[in-house]
Structure 1
């Protein structure tokens, strides 16, 4: 029972600190403190477009057209739509064979979602020597190789938000979403 004075002191200190914190917040009212240097929310608000904006397209979107989502690695350590097209020997960025690219800070903002021309026109991906998927598959390319260049926390978070929004908008089931085998 010799711990009772210590417990009382800890509880009193907790009560005082919580009261002081509440008073500071009430004094600030509708003027919250400015975001710190590493504020994730201010980074998203000022540097990254919303997922809803990335999902918009110039062509009408039909809920029955899309039924699967596949996330895959670019196989590169850096890049964006234009750089991936160039590395792939494509004539232009319009020819890239995915719907979205999620950048890692090396070629685009960390977590930046770039929608491709195929998404803007609501076109299916073309089957080729490296992919034989369905015409109902939305493909998301994450800039990483999955070995030495793994996805950043921002890329993972933005991918999750993008997938959730696509699933909600097009009625895609959870078991129809495919991630790379070493997705963390």
Structure 2
């Protein structure tokens, strides 16, 4: 009786081990959505163990030949990468469609850059876009950045603008992306909005 019980215990332990291994492999399987994992950046972070620039370009896959940068806003006063991730997943998409999210203090720290799984594994974005999206093939070469906030109602915070300028500048330098291929599409196209387009573009050129 004791031998039978011991054999049953061994069999159940083996089965549990196999199921656990299968679960781990499913998470690591290509095409599966990885969690954010607390990957955040701040260009002025004095407590960072690794430099923000090193963190930005430390990816799990070889860099894609990125050629375009698109900036949107979330259309909501509050939020974060995790909130966008849930929202996009509820629409049947593969999690957050943006590579980066820049926060406004209503959900995550003001100016904090959250790095999405799409950037970590160098996967194409999944977001609607009026400019770069005209030619679908360019979607595979476009870096998507989302500002938390609604530019129809209020401008991005000073910290958001500072961190967005830093992020875009570093991406431009690394991938040789000219400013004319940086599309600032925060806010509704038929609303004047509060995004400081002219001043921000001058900041990029400067």
Shared fold by TM > 0.5? yes
Pairwise mapping of residues 148-167 of structure 1 onto structure 2 (< 5 A)?
Answer: 148-167=153-172
2:142 to 134, 137, 161: 137
Q: Does structure 1 conserve the Cα–Cα contact (< 8 Å) formed by 2:86 and 2:95?
A: no
Distance 1:115 1:92 in 2: 21
Moved more, 76-85 or 49-58: 49-58
1:97: Cα distance to partner?
A: 0.5
Partner residue of 1:71?
A: 71
Q: 2:81 matched to 1:53?
A: no
Once the two structures are superposed, residues 121-177 of structure 1 have per-residue CA deviations (whole angstroms, 9 ceiling, x without a partner) of 1011236xx336222110100001102242100000100000000001111111111
- The CA deviation at 1:111 is 0.6
Report the Cα offset of residue 92 of structure 1: 9.9
> How much has 1:81 moved relative to structure 2?
1.0
In structure 1, C-alpha distance between the alignment counterparts of 2:91 and 2:59, rounded to whole Å: 22
Distance 1:80 1:120, change over 3 A: same
TM-score by length of 1: 0.66
Partner of 2:102 in structure 1? 102
CA contact (8 A) 1:142 1:155 kept: yes
CA contact (8 A) 2:59 2:121 kept: yes
User: Radius of gyration: which is bigger?
Assistant: 1
1:168 is aligned to 2:173: yes
Distance 1:93 1:46, change over 3 A: farther
Q: Are 1:85 and 1:93, in contact at CA under 8 Å, matched by a contact in 2? A: no
Structure 1 gaps of 5+ residues are 1-40
Q: Kindly tell me: are residues 149 and 88 of structure 1, through their superposed partners in 2, closer, same or farther at Cα, counting changes over 3 Å?
A: farther
CA contact (8 A) 1:86 1:92 kept: no
Match of 2:37 in 1: none
Using the alignment, how far apart are the partners of 1:57 and 1:120 within structure 2?
5
Distance in 2 of aligned mates of 1:54 and 1:93: 25
Distance 1:150 1:117, change over 3 A: same
RMSD after superposition: 2.9
Aligned to 1:83: 83
